[in-house]
Structure 1
Amino acid sequence: MSANSRLTIAAHALTWIGLYQRRGNAVATSEQIATSVNTNPVVIRRLLGELRRAGLVESRRGAGAGWMLTRELAAISLLEVYEAIEPGPLFALHPSTPDPECVVGNGIRPAMTAAYERAEGALREELARTTLEDVLRDALRVK
């Protein structure tokens, strides 16, 4: 099972756009962002489409086309980004109901549900505390 990198890529793209705009540029193209992320511009466009639906970015078409943030980096939390691109629970239970006659099968769902709710709650709290401004500040510290 591999880890999901969508939140990292989305945070990278949004933080890059924010810095680019701060440096006096109106919009960023998906090609420019993709170069920084080292991925295909199509991947960036799809992700930015989801972020647009969540109201975190806007796009401009035609001459001077590109993407821009709708708010400052300090006003966007990682939780907002996460919720925009990962709708749904972090963890899942069995796809089918375990054997209710089995001592473990009977109690595994409520036991795992409680553990998952605690874990997801802790994750959401941390993501809510962290803004894209924090991400940019920390990224710029690395040399």
Structure 2
Amino acid sequence: MSANSKLTVAAHALAWIGLYQRRGHEVATSEQIAASVNTNPVVIRRLLAELRKAGLADSRRGVGAGWMLSREPTAITLLDVYEAVEPGPLFALHRSTPNPECVVGRGIGPAMTTVYDDVETALRKELAKTTLEDVLRGVLNAT
């Protein structure tokens, strides 16, 4: 099972836009962002569409088309980004109902739900502490 990188790619794209704007540019193209992420611009456009729907990014069409942040980097948390790109729970239970005649099959759902709820609460709490500005600062300090 591979890890999901959607939150990381979304944070990367938003941080790139934020830095680009900070350096005096009005909008960034999906091609520019995709070059930094090392992916296809279509992947970036789809992701930015989700971020636009959540009010984190905005786009301009026509001449000078591109993407911009909808809010200041200090007003965007990683929790905002997570909620925009990961609408479902972090973990899921079985796709089919386990055997209710089995003690483990009967009890695994409630037992795991308690653990998953606690993990999700802790994750959300940590993501809420970090802003896009914090991410940008970390990026710039790492170079």
Q: Which residue of 2 aligns with 1:134?
A: 134
Q: Which residue of 1 aligns with 2:80?
A: 80
The answer on 1:44 being equivalent to 2:44 is yes
Q: Which residue of 1 aligns with 2:12?
A: 12
TM-score using structure 2 length: 0.98
1:31-110 maps to which residues of 2 (within 5 A)?
Answer: 31-110=31-110
Question: How far does residue 93 in structure 1 lie from its aligned partner after superposition?
Answer: 0.3
Q: Which residue of 2 aligns with 1:118?
A: 118
Cα distance in 2 for partners of 1:12, 1:39 equals: 12
TM-score using structure 1 length: 0.98
Question: How far does residue 106 in structure 1 lie from its aligned partner after superposition?
Answer: 1.2
Q: Given residue 137 of structure 2, which amino acid in structure 1 is its aligned partner?
A: R
Q: Given residue 126 of structure 1, which amino acid in structure 2 is its aligned partner?
A: E
Question: How far does residue 95 in structure 1 lie from its aligned partner after superposition?
Answer: 1.1
1:83-129 C-alpha deviation (Å, 9 max, x unpaired): 10110111000111111121111111000000000001100000011
1:6-61 C-alpha deviation (Å, 9 max, x unpaired): 10000000011001001110000001111111111111001001111111111001
Cα distance in 2 for partners of 1:115, 1:107 equals: 13
Cα distance in 1 for partners of 2:103, 2:56 equals: 47
In structure 1, list runs of 5 or more residues that go unmatched: none
3-state SS of the aligned residue for 2:101? coil
3-state SS of the aligned residue for 2:67? strand
User: What is the alpha-carbon root mean square deviation over aligned residues?
Assistant: 0.7
Superposed structure 1 runs of 4+ greater than 3 Å apart: none
Q: Which residue of 1 aligns with 2:26?
A: 26
Q: Which residue of 1 aligns with 2:3?
A: 3
